[in-house]
Each structure stands twice: as C-alpha cells, then as structure tokens.
Amino acid sequence: MKIEPLLMLIWGMVVGQQTELSRIMLLRTELLMYLYIAVIYGQAELKLMISL
C-alpha cells in the first residue's frame, strides 16, 4: 500500500524533469532563433550603413 505514493512521487519527478528539459530545449531554440534573426538584421543594417 505504501509503494503506490512513492511510485507516484518518482513518476511525478520524472515527468517534471522531462517537462523542465523540454522547456529548456524550447528556450534554447528560441534563443537561437532570436540570435539568428539578430545576426541577419545586423548584417542588413551594416549593408545599409555601408551603402549610405
């Protein structure tokens, strides 16, 4: 009878870790996207400044 709550706790921890991991991965991809956009935007701005 006492094993079930323990299993639930372990399961909750595992699921929690997975969601935390996926959140971190999502954050990482978002940051990469923003970085990519910033680089492209920066290059476009540099080209504009050079052409002016």
- pLDDT, tens only, 1-52: 577 888 888 888 888 888 988 888 889 999 999 999 999 998 888 888 888 7
**pLDDT for residue 1:** 57
**pLDDT for residue 30:** 92
The letter for the amino acid at 25 is: M
**pLDDT for residue 10:** 87
Length of the chain: 52
From CA 18, how far away is CA 23, in angstroms rounded? Answer: 8
From CA 19, how far away is CA 52, in angstroms rounded? Answer: 49
Q: What are the respective helix, strand and coil percentages of the chain, to the nearest 5? A: 95, 0, 5
Element (H, E) at 1: none
